């Protein structure tokens, strides 16, 4: 066995100055960033009126609320809640479908391999971006102004805000499609519409169907919250019961939402698998 | 050069054609049945959601003219002709916007810290006990599934009106979302360093600190930044339920029909979200870039 060789650290130090004597700026960067992040954090706590006493008082209040929530109990309004849950699921399904139907043609306009002109694509993309920049809740408020309180406003809110998201996702799916099939159609004398129908759509429809199912799933969650501003569904009941401090009903409603979301997750997972098959689920 | 296309004899062709027709027919039938089920579901949903096409057609003009109105000043001019009048409240709005950003910053930081503490217990490969993993995972799932604004509604009652409720709601929701993502990073980490450190007799805590954490920090930072981006959007609507931020101004403007204010505040929010998106994207690129070089 050989003894480990004595290492001349001085020589190593001279040879690799980057490792042994890092410049002060590199050594200070991480601590400086941490200190800055912490300073902003403390400033934020002060500016947002955080105080230990308020926090503790709130916590004890919260503990009391949690105790009041047990056991979950719908009282006599179970039928109303079930109807509201149905309304929520309807909002999610209809809103997502509407959005997908309207987004498909627009997404073709935003895809590079369908519309080569950048001048034409640019406004379409910015339009979709700005729709996406506005939250679903804000759209719900706007639609309530237009069609009045109720679930219909919720459907339209989800449809509009998903329209922006779908437009982007669909156009990305279309851009990822294989061009060879389109060329094949063109070579056999197909018109541009034939190219889209027989060359592109068969490739992208499974991907799009997977995305739509995924959005129905996530919109079940969104649909529960748009009720809070008055756009129908179970969120409306939830917000009302919270405001009148009926905690047992609140916990029952939250449980209902959790169960419904889990059920929809399960069903759409199965469906997605059936549609896309063994391929990776998008 | 000519190529001969060979055509099969009639009987052979008939069998193949029949098989083809049957295969296509079966697929068409399946699609048709699927479409029928979907149509029935849509119809039921339309009844459930009280869809009224007549209302839509009567009021659709309102929707378009709404956008016409929010871009018109009280004086009847277009908003962009008089920016000073359009953004008359910019001092107040900027202050509220700053509050919104602070809410999402503080909320993200608290959420990321909690997620950092919890995720080692939730990951398959580092959790000290199966029951602990089960409990922590269910806890994170709960925090993730209940929408942030529902937490905000409850916290507004417990902690009082104001940004504190918004911060805590965002923190809890971020804990759930980040905890899951963080634990997935840990599950992908290389376990050899852990073995090396455990073989020196180190405790579980030292194993995490010296074997896992150095591998995962860049991934954590990237996800936390992404979460911050999402939380800025989320914080902009927290004001709807009284949990602070610019949402409060927006909901007042929408409900009281201060049309030009609506467009001004919306524009401020969209531009801010846009700037945050770009800058965190740049920062994430730099973090990952540095990671790739070492």
Q: Quick one: angle between helices A234-243 and A247-276, nearest 10?
A: 160
> What is the nearest CA distance from B53 to chain A, expressed in angstroms?
10
**What pLDDT score does A277 carry?**
59
- Test A87 with B109 for CB contact under 8 angstroms: no
Six-digit token string for A4: 């480990």
Confidence of residue B168 (pLDDT cuts 50, 70, 90): very high
HSE of A55 in the Cβ direction (CA atoms, 13 Å)? Answer: 10
Which one of B49, B155, B164 has the shortest CB-CB distance to A50?
A: B164
Residues of chain A contacting B59 with CB distance shorter than 8 Å = 146-147
Alpha carbon of residue B255 to chain centroid: 26
Query: Which neighbouring-strand residues pair with B72?
Result: B78
**What pLDDT score does A240 carry?**
87
Kindly state whether A179 is in contact with chain B, defined as any CB-CB distance less than 8 angstroms.
Answer: no
Is residue B16's pLDDT more than 50?
yes
Q: What is the pLDDT of residues B183-238, one digit of tens each?
A: 988 888 888 888 899 899 888 888 888 888 888 888 888 888 889 988 998 898 88
- Test B55 with A90 for CB contact under 8 angstroms: no
User: Is the bond leading into B182 cis (omega within 30 degrees of zero)?
Assistant: no
Residues of chain B with pLDDT > 70: what percent?
96
- SS3 (DSSP) at B4: coil
Residues of chain B contacting A133 with CB distance shorter than 8 Å = 269-270, 273-274
Six-digit token string for B183: 């634990």
- Test B164 with A48 for CB contact under 8 angstroms: yes
Taking Cα atoms as reference points, which of A265, A234, A243, A255 lies closest to residue A88?
A234
Range name among A11-20, A134-143, B231-240 with the lowest pLDDT average = A11-20
Instruction: Quickly tell me which residue has 């507004």 as its tokens.
Output: B156
Residues of chain B contacting A89 with CB distance shorter than 8 Å = 45, 48
Is residue B255's pLDDT more than 90?
no
Which one of A43, A97, A258 has the shortest CB-CB distance to B42?
A: A97
Are the C-beta atoms of residues A156 and A147 closer than 8 Å to each other? yes
Q: What is the pLDDT of residues A243-268, one digit of tens each?
A: 888 888 889 998 888 888 888 888 88
Q: What is the pLDDT of residues A21-54, one digit of tens each?
A: 777 777 787 788 889 888 988 888 888 888 888 8
**What pLDDT score does A8 carry?**
73
Is residue A2's pLDDT more than 60?
no
Best residue in B33, B49, B230 for a mutation probing chain A (most A CBs within 10 Å):
B49
**What pLDDT score does B69 carry?**
82
Residues of chain A contacting B245 with CB distance shorter than 8 Å = none
The conformational region for residue B129 under phi > 0 = left, psi -120 to 50 = alpha, else beta, is beta
Which one of A59, A94, A130 has the shortest CB-CB distance to B42?
A: A94
Confidence of residue B289 (pLDDT cuts 50, 70, 90): low
**What pLDDT score does B104 carry?**
93
Integer CA distances (angstroms), A277 to A167, A264, A272, A280, in order? 24, 19, 8, 8
- Test B63 with A90 for CB contact under 8 angstroms: no
Query: Which neighbouring-strand residues pair with B78?
Result: B72
- SS3 (DSSP) at B285: helix
Are the C-beta atoms of residues A92 and A216 closer than 8 Å to each other? yes
Q: What is the pLDDT of residues B111-128, one digit of tens each?
A: 999 999 998 898 888 888
Q: Average pLDDT of chain B?
A: 85
The pTM assigned to this predicted structure is 0.79
Q: What is the pLDDT of residues B39-70, one digit of tens each?
A: 888 888 888 777 777 777 777 777 778 888 88
Q: What is the mean pLDDT of residues B130-147?
A: 89
- Test B158 with A65 for CB contact under 8 angstroms: yes
List of residues 6+ apart from B151 with CB closer than 8 A: B168, B169, B172, B173
Determine the residue of chain A that is closest to B231 in CA distance.
Answer: A135
Are the C-beta atoms of residues A63 and A242 closer than 8 Å to each other? no
DSSP A111: -
Residues of chain A contacting B159 with CB distance shorter than 8 Å = 54-55, 57-58, 61-62
ipTM exceeding the 0.85 mark: no
Q: What is the pLDDT of residues A216-229, one digit of tens each?
A: 888 888 888 888 88
- Test B154 with A65 for CB contact under 8 angstroms: yes
CB pairs < 8 Å spanning A and B: 158
Are the C-beta atoms of residues A225 and A235 closer than 8 Å to each other? yes
Residues of chain A contacting B56 with CB distance shorter than 8 Å = 147, 152, 156
- Test A154 with B62 for CB contact under 8 angstroms: no
Q: What is the pLDDT of residues A110-126, one digit of tens each?
A: 888 777 777 888 888 88
Residues of chain A contacting B109 with CB distance shorter than 8 Å = 37, 41
**What pLDDT score does B293 carry?**
39
Confidence of residue A178 (pLDDT cuts 50, 70, 90): confident
Six-digit token string for A57: 């008082």
Integer CA distances (angstroms), B83 to A19, B89, B261, in order? 55, 11, 12
**What pLDDT score does A280 carry?**
44
Is residue A273's pLDDT more than 80?
no
Range name among B11-25, B136-150, B279-293 with the lowest pLDDT average = B279-293
């Amino acid at each position: 066995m050989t003894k480990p060789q004595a290492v001349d650290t001085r020589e190593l130090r001279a040879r690799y100055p980057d490792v042994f004597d890092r410049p002060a700026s590199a050594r200070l960067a991480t601590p400086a960033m941490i200190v800055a992040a912490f300073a902003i954090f403390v400033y934020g706590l002060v500016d947002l009126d955080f105080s230990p006493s308020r926090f503790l008082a709130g916590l004890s209040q919260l503990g009391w609320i949690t105790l009041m929530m047990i056991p979950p109990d719908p009282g006599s309004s179970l039928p109303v809640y079930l109807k509201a849950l149905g309304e929520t699921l309807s909002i999610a399904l209809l809103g997502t479908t509407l959005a997908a139907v309207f987004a498909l043609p627009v997404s073709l306009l935003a895809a590079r391999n369908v519309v080569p002109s950048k001048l034409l694509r640019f406004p379409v993309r910015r339009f979709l971006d700005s729709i996406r920049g506005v939250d679903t809740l804000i759209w719900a408020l706007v639609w309530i102004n237009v069609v009045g309180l109720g679930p219909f406003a919720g459907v339209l809110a989800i449809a509009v805000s998903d329209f922006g998201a779908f437009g982007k996702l669909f156009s990305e799916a279309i851009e990822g499609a294989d061009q060879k099939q389109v060329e094949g159609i063109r070579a056999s004398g197909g018109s541009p519409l034939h190219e889209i129908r027989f060359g592109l759509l068969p490739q992208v429809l499974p991907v799009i169907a997977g995305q739509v199912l995924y959005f129905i799933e996530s919109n079940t969650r969104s649909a529960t919250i748009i009720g809070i501003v008055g756009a129908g569904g179970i969120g409306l009941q939830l917000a009302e019961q919270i405001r009148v401090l009926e905690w047992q009903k609140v916990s029952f409603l939250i449980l209902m939402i959790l169960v419904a979301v889990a059920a929809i997750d399960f069903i759409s997972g199965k469906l997605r698998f059936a549609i896309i098959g063994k391929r990776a689920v998008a | 050069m000519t190529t001969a296309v060979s055509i099969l004899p009639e009987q052979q062709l008939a069998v193949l054609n029949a098989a083809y027709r049957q295969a296509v027919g079966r697929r068409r039938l399946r699609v048709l049945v699927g479409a029928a089920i979907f149509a029935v579901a849509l119809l039921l949903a339309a009844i459930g959601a009280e869809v009224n096409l007549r209302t839509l057609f009567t009021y659709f003009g309102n929707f378009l003219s709404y956008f016409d109105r929010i871009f018109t000043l009280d004086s009847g001019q277009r908003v962009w002709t008089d920016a000073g009048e359009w953004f008359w409240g910019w001092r107040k709005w900027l202050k509220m916007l700053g509050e919104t950003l602070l809410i999402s910053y503080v909320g993200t930081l608290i959420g990321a810290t909690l997620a950092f503490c919890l995720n080692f217990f939730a990951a398959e490969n580092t959790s000290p006990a199966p029951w602990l993993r089960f409990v922590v995972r269910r806890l994170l799932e709960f925090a993730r599934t209940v929408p942030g604004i529902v937490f905000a509604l409850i916290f507004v009652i417990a902690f009082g009106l104001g940004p504190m409720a918004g911060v805590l709601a965002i923190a809890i929701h971020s804990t759930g979302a980040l905890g899951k993502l963080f634990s997935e990073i840990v599950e992908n980490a290389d376990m050899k360093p852990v073995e090396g450190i455990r073989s020196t007799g180190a405790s579980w805590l030292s194993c995490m600190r010296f074997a896992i954490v150095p591998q995962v920090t860049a991934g954590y930072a990237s996800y936390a930044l992404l979460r911050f981006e999402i939380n800025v959007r989320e914080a902009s609507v927290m004001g709807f339920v009284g949990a602070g931020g610019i949402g409060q101004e927006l909901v007042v403007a929408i409900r009281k029909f201060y049309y030009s204010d609506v467009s001004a505040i919306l524009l401020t929010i969209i531009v801010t979200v846009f700037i945050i998106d770009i800058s965190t994207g740049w920062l994430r690129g730099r973090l990952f870039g540095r990671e790739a070089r070492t």
